[in-house]
């Protein structure tokens, strides 16, 4: 008798629109894996975030962290609410705690334009934009976030941490991703995005990048200052393949990346470490639109597809990778006719309409 492998998914919907975009995503994940013979997903619903903090005084209880850490993968909606902060004024961000505590150093943010959506850039070459931002997610300037920075109400200091072991793993991850993308993209290029001309920590970042590049002779190693990259992402984003950068630079440029493909609701992400991974949309809890049924769940769905792909690769489950490809294709098919335009792009498709359209194309495909 053949047993299906159970893959346990820790589900953390979180705050604001997080809880609006999660249920439909889980339904699609269940649908696309229903016929798998080698594995089955099991969802474990967990609670963390600002709303939990408001109710209980705890944002991320130890047992919730432990359950998430024991799962095969973590699927997260969005966390944090403006105005809800810890007593010391720090923002409530269990998603950042997860990245740091589980050493999820590679924040993978694909920037891929889907056919059928209103164009953002006029140049026709932007029609099939496809590059990936890798944001280091455990140190960099964010490493200072839990430390008191203001001294005597006179001066404030945040320190950017760049460490060799994290950088080596980060760059190797970036080069391996470029190798994996090469058959499809042909470019085979990793661009180190930094500020090596001004900050010694960033010169160190670039130095380690150059060292690791030697181990990947089939991939072009390229450099660009972060300010120039902001320009290039608008002027010629089609020239890039994999971009790798420090935490805060990645935080900023991935929002620009999301804008290039239509908005925050189109941008999925994966935070990957050597043993654990969290999958969540790039956006936050969007309190300005929460409760209105307007949130675009596409980034959530595509994050679910990234999760299936990662699980498939990690556990040698071809069926999970096929399911990931089917779910991604269902999203693409839903948008291709050009009639499904999410609210954030000026259209009328709310959360449910997007779920329905993707569900219909999944059923048809
Ligand atoms: P964080 O710092 O937690 O990333 P943030 O404060 O930067 O969050 P978001 O919550 O990402 O901001 O929201 C930024 C803007 O994008 C808001 O105007 C929000 O309404 C919009 N937005 C974010 N996600 C979506 C979505 N899924 N659908 C539609 N609009 C969205």
The CATH code of the domain that includes 330 is 3.40.718.10
Q: Which of 260, 288, 315 is the last residue of a domain?
A: 260
3-60 pLDDT, tens per residue? 899 999 999 999 999 999 999 999 999 999 999 999 999 999 999 999 999 999 999 9
- Domain span at residue 247 reads 121-131+152-260
Nearest of 354, 312, 349, 307 to residue 330 by alpha carbon: 354
Instruction: Reply yes or no on whether the pLDDT at 70 is more than 70.
Output: yes
Same structural domain for residues 245 and 314? no
Q: How far apart are the first and last CA of the chain?
A: 30
Residue 2 pLDDT level (bands cut at 50, 70, 90): low
Is the CB–ligand 1 distance for residue 286 below 6 Å?
A: yes
Residue 184 pLDDT level (bands cut at 50, 70, 90): confident
Residue 320 pLDDT level (bands cut at 50, 70, 90): very high
Q: What is the mean pLDDT of the chain?
A: 96
263-312 pLDDT, tens per residue? 999 999 999 999 999 999 999 999 999 999 999 999 999 999 999 999 99
Backbone angles phi and psi of 68, in degrees to 5? -65, -40
Residue 146 pLDDT level (bands cut at 50, 70, 90): confident
With a pLDDT cut of 70, the percent of the chain lying above it is 99
222-257 pLDDT, tens per residue? 999 999 999 999 999 999 999 999 999 999 999 999
Helices 318-335 and 18-33 pack at an angle, to 10 degrees, of 120
Residue 90 lies in a domain: yes
Nearest of 51, 9, 16 to residue 351 by alpha carbon: 16
pLDDT of residue 150: 87
76-109 pLDDT, tens per residue? 999 999 999 998 888 899 999 999 999 999 999 9
The residues pairing with 349 across neighbouring beta strands, listed in sequence order, are 342
Q: Report CA(271)–ligand 1 centroid distance (Å).
A: 18
Same structural domain for residues 55 and 158? no
Helix H or strand E encompassing 275: none
Q: Which of 260, 275, 307 is the last residue of a domain?
A: 260
Which pair of tokens denotes residue 162? 């760049």
Same structural domain for residues 237 and 268? no
Is the CB–ligand 1 distance for residue 77 below 6 Å?
A: no
Nearest of 331, 185, 363 to residue 265 by alpha carbon: 331
Is the CB–ligand 1 distance for residue 239 below 6 Å?
A: no
Same structural domain for residues 363 and 271? yes
Instruction: Reply yes or no on whether the pLDDT at 361 is more than 80.
Output: yes
Strand 277-281, strand 268-272: pairing: antiparallel
- Give the Cα separation of 24 and 22 in Å (integer): 6
Q: How many domains does the chain have?
A: 2
- Give the Cα separation of 143 and 52 in Å (integer): 25
Nearest of 243, 253, 179 to residue 217 by alpha carbon: 179
Is the CB–ligand 1 distance for residue 206 below 6 Å?
A: no
Q: Report CA(221)–ligand 1 centroid distance (Å).
A: 33
């Amino acid at each position: 008798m053949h047993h299906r492998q159970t893959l346990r998914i820790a589900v953390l919907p979180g705050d604001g629109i997080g809880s609006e975009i999660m249920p439909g995503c889980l339904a699609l994940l269940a649908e696309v894996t229903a016929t798998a013979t080698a594995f089955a997903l099991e969802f474990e619903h967990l609670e963390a975030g600002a709303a939990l903090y408001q109710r209980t005084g705890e944002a991320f209880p130890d047992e919730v962290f432990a359950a998430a850490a024991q799962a095969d993968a973590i699927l997260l909606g969005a966390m944090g609410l403006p105005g809800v902060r810890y007593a010391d004024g720090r923002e409530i961000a269990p998603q950042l705690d997860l990245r740091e505590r589980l050493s999820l150093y590679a924040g993978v943010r694909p920037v891929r334009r889907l056919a059928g959506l209103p164009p953002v850039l006029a140049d026709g070459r932007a029609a099939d934009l496809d590059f990936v931002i890798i944001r280091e997610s455990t140190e960099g300037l964010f490493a200072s976030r839990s430390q008191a920075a203001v001294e005597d109400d006179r001066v404030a200091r945040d320190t950017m941490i760049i460490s060799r072991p994290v950088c080596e793993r980060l760059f190797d991850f970036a080069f391996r991703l470029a190798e994996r993308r090469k058959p499809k993209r042909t470019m085979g290029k990793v661009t180190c995005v930094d500020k090596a001309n001004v900050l010694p920590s960033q010169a160190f970042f670039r130095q380690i990048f150059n060292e690791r590049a030697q181990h990947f002779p089939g991939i072009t190693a390229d450099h660009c200052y972060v300010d120039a990259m902001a320009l290039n992402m608008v002027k010629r984003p089609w020239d890039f393949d994999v971009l790798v950068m420090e935490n805060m630079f990645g935080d900023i440029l991935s929002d620009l990346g999301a804008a290039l493909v239509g908005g925050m609701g189109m941008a999925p992400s994966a935070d990957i470490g050597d043993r654990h991974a969290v999958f969540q949309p790039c956006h936050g809890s969007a309190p300005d639109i929460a409760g209105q049924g307007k949130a675009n769940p596409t980034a959530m769905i595509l994050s679910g597809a990234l999760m299936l792909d990662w699980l498939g690769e990690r556990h040698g489950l071809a069926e999970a990778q096929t399911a990931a490809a089917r779910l991604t294709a269902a999203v693409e098919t839903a948008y291709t006719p050009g009639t499904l335009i999410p609210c954030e792009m000026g259209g009328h498709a709310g959360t449910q309409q997007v779920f329905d359209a993707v569900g219909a194309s999944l059923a048809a495909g």
